Amino acid sequence: MKERPPAAGEQRTVKVSKYLSKHLRHSPDRIGLVLDANGWVEIDTLLAAAAAHRFPITRAELDHVVAVNDKQRFAVEDGRIRASQGHSVDVDLALPPATPPAYLYHGTVAAHLDAIRAEGLRPMNRHAVHLSRDRETATRVGARRGRPVVLSVDAGAMHRDGHVFQVSANGVWLTSAVPPGFLRFPGRR
């Protein structure tokens, strides 16, 4: 079944979400934003910066994007906003260590499997490796880059070996890296 193109309102929501992700996670300086140490910025400051850079966003649009984002990418608190995770700029999300479930999952594509087998999962240009609590979510994550491959992560064993995990407000599990020995690949035992 062919997907229908998004309606104009949906297109605007996607554009605003991508704009927020770009500037709250990767390049706040591009529009003159300064995130605090934990990644927060005043909403009024963000809206003014967006308008000054020819991408005006209303408070109602921002609230709508935050509310309907299927991945809950943004957190709002006390008149401030931040990305929940995925930053390439230096921030400390101040998330406490958390005990993970026995297994977590990572969605990727086949083209990356040789490197992952050799080096494990690394954060690349982000602060942490992102893991999902269930296979379905990991499948959706992997599908963004092509045909998804879902890896199982023996998070319980990692935790017992001293690896630290955190969980973001939207349920994404974070850790600094996953060594190859803690990964299970499809088709292998």
Say if residue 59 is in the same domain as residue 109. no
The answer to whether the predicted template modeling score (pTM) of the entire model surpasses 0.85 is no
Q: What is the pLDDT, as a whole number, of residue 1?
A: 45
Residue 2 lies in a domain: no
Residue 61 lies in a domain: yes
Q: What is the pLDDT, as a whole number, of residue 45?
A: 98
Residue 162 lies in a domain: yes
Say if residue 64 is in the same domain as residue 110. no
Q: Which residues contact 134 (CB under 8 A, 6 or more apart)?
A: 105
Q: What is the pLDDT, as a whole number, of residue 71?
A: 78
Say if residue 55 is in the same domain as residue 119. no
DSSP reduced 3-state for 74: strand
For position 52, which CATH number holds? 1.10.10.970
Q: What is the pLDDT, as a whole number, of residue 119?
A: 96
The tally of domains found in the chain comes to 2
Extract the residue ranges of the chain whose pLDDT is less than 50: 1-2, 189
Q: Which residues contact 81 (CB under 8 A, 6 or more apart)?
A: 20, 24, 40, 41, 43, 46, 62, 66, 74, 75
For tokens 């509310």, what's the residue? 67
- Residue range of the domain that includes 75: 8-83
CA 74 to chain centroid, in Å, comes to 10
Residue 108 lies in a domain: yes
For position 110, which CATH number holds? 3.20.170.30
Q: Tell me: the pLDDT tens digits for 148-180?
A: 999 999 999 999 999 999 999 889 999 999 999
Residue 23 lies in a domain: yes
